[in-house]
Structure 1
Amino acid sequence: MNNVALSTALFNNGLTCGACYEIQCDSQQDPKWCHPGSIIVTATNFCPPNPALPSDKGGWCNPPREHFDLSMPAFLRIGEYIAGIIPVSYRRVPCTKQGGIRFEISGFKYWTHVLVYNVGGAGDVREVAIKGSRASNWEPMQRNWGQIWQTGNDYSGQSLSFRVTTSDGRTVNSIDAVPVNWQYGQTFEGKQFS
């Protein structure tokens, strides 16, 4: 999987985390450094700005620049190493993922964080709700950062269900995705968008 860090302009305060893009080197702007073809990447990180440097000399992630900070293996599939930075064209594409949505649980009895990842379809999550096996209603979770969602309620000793809604308005319910005997630091798999 090709993960990518996005500049401020693309990351949108973490709202775009999980989205997928098709990227190719723009050979019309700079044919010398481009390889043919494209790659699909998933936005997983933030590329912080460096206001001490100009955006064309090291401050690649400075606003308002749209920049994809690729791993070296991903970069080498579309451009020459010596170029360092290349012009690209890109577009949002649906995310195709193996297996179900992942729910990584961390925290403590009085606060729980859930990292939601491996999301198909739109990829970026707009809302998450949680329901313990002793509850009758879904509780909306609050976004902490990126795709980390939090609650202040104690769900220990309960199986957990999650309702995930992506930016395109589609929703999937993962009922009892987490068993009663779960512990912090574990990751569980739920349903996936088709």
Structure 2
Amino acid sequence: MKWRNEVAASSTHTRKSHHIQVDRISYSYPDCLSPVAKQQIPASVTVRHQPANMQRRSGSFALGALWVLCSAALLSGVRGNAAGVATPLSAWRNGIASVYDAPTLGAVIGSCGYGAISQSSYPYWSIGALATSNLFFQEGPVEGCGMCFQVQCINDGSNGEGFVGKCNPNWQTNSITFMVTDQCPECQPDQLDLNAAAFQKLAPLVNGRIALQYRRVTCTPQEPVTVRVDANRGSGGWMRLWVMNTAGTAGVAGVSVRTAGTGGPGVPLSNVFGADWETGASPAQPLDVIVTSDDGSTLTLPGAVAASFVGLGAGASNFGQDPTAASAGQVAAAASQQNPPVAAQSTSVAVSG
């Protein structure tokens, strides 16, 4: 894919000393895209740049955009929901949705720090960003990272936002659920910035913006909670991790670690940015990881971090899920479904070692 700068530094935004530069990029279409797909992709996109630990839509994404677009067949057959039918956690709110700048953006990296999002597992590229002025961003833990929202396009102007006639034909019965992986400093408070795979389930990508109503709902991944460790200097050293695939309310309010099998509350980690959790002095490893959701539920992952381990650890269970329920076969079956079914929900779960 050929990309070129069209207009540089059209706008800037600053948050917590993290500078964001907004550039306008235009591109030519790769041959692998069908004519229909080409019609759905805008002729130019906006790229925002941030430091590595807070990247929102990296300008370097173009290096991998061609193979992602061609091999993943983004514009056909991508799952539209991060979950099945879920339990509402808030009232409906009126707002608008915009679409991530290019189909690959948001699936590679976002400010929450989850890393590359797979098309074949939760949240199935059904992802998006909250405005930094959004109620859920400001009041929820970890800036809303990991939370899920149900979205319905409004085609008739009834929510007062305009954009009449922009939705797909089935707008009255169609909705999607997406997971928050990113933030949008320049967005309006009730503006959701959606990945193209999610947006196109509501409206043609060429429309760019749509009116909507949205509400927070429970997340329902079939996969167990896992821990991704990207820095680990061993016992007594610095360690940084992310908690992935949380079910239920999915707002991670706290994470603690303790030497595996020792019991007790553990050492609380600090949330430094996005959905990351860090400690400057790890207890003796291996470690149990204790996750606390924003509804007060707790989940213990026994031995989740091996000594000096870096990478994605194996999961055992999830909030509201029996410890033996998330077998490899069930996870594989869930990944093959167009709309993954709802996982059981509970108000409190504790898995002992």
Q: TM-score, with normalisation over the residues of structure 2?
A: 0.47
Aligned residues: percent identity? 28
Q: Distance in 2 between matches of 1:26 and 1:130?
A: 45
Out of 228, 242, 251, the position equivalent to 1:104 is 228
Look up the match of 1:34. 167
Please identify runs of 4+ aligned residues in structure 1 that moved more than 3 A: 134-137, 185-188
Q: Which residue type is aligned with residue 166 of structure 2? A: W
Moved more, 135-144 or 16-25: 135-144
Q: 1:126 to 1:25 in 2, by over 3 A?
A: same
Look up the match of 2:289. 162
Q: Which stretches in structure 1 are left out of the alignment for 5+ residues?
A: 50-60
Q: Distance in 2 between matches of 1:153 and 1:81?
A: 47
Look up the match of 1:48. 185
Larger Rg: 2
Calculate the aligned-residue CA RMSD, in Å: 2.0
Aligned residues: 179
Q: Distance in 1 between matches of 2:232 and 2:289?
A: 18
Q: Distance in 1 between matches of 2:178 and 2:258?
A: 32
Look up the match of 2:271. 143
Q: Distance in 1 between matches of 2:153 and 2:306?
A: 45
Q: Distance in 2 between matches of 1:105 and 1:45?
A: 19
Is the contact made by 1:34 and 1:78 (CA closer than 8 Å) also made in structure 2?
A: yes
Q: Distance in 2 between matches of 1:184 and 1:177?
A: 11
1:135 positional shift:
5.3
Moved more, 72-81 or 38-47: 72-81
1:136 positional shift:
5.0
Flag the structure with higher strand content: 1
SS of equivalent residue, structure 1 residue 99: coil
Q: Which residue type is aligned with residue 165 of structure 2? A: K
Q: Distance in 2 between matches of 1:187 and 1:172?
A: 15
Look up the match of 2:214. 90
Q: Distance in 2 between matches of 1:90 and 1:115?
A: 26
**Larger RCO (CA under 8 A, 6+ residues apart):** 1
Q: Distance in 1 between matches of 2:247 and 2:216?
A: 13
Is the contact made by 2:142 and 2:253 (CA closer than 8 Å) also made in structure 1?
A: no
Q: Distance in 2 between matches of 1:33 and 1:17?
A: 28
Look up the match of 1:15. 143
Is the contact made by 1:15 and 1:126 (CA closer than 8 Å) also made in structure 2?
A: no
SS of equivalent residue, structure 1 residue 86: strand
Q: Distance in 1 between matches of 2:316 and 2:241?
A: 13
SS of equivalent residue, structure 1 residue 74: helix
Q: Which stretches in structure 2 are left out of the alignment for 5+ residues?
A: 1-123, 158-162, 321-353
1:46 positional shift:
1.1
1:134 positional shift:
7.7
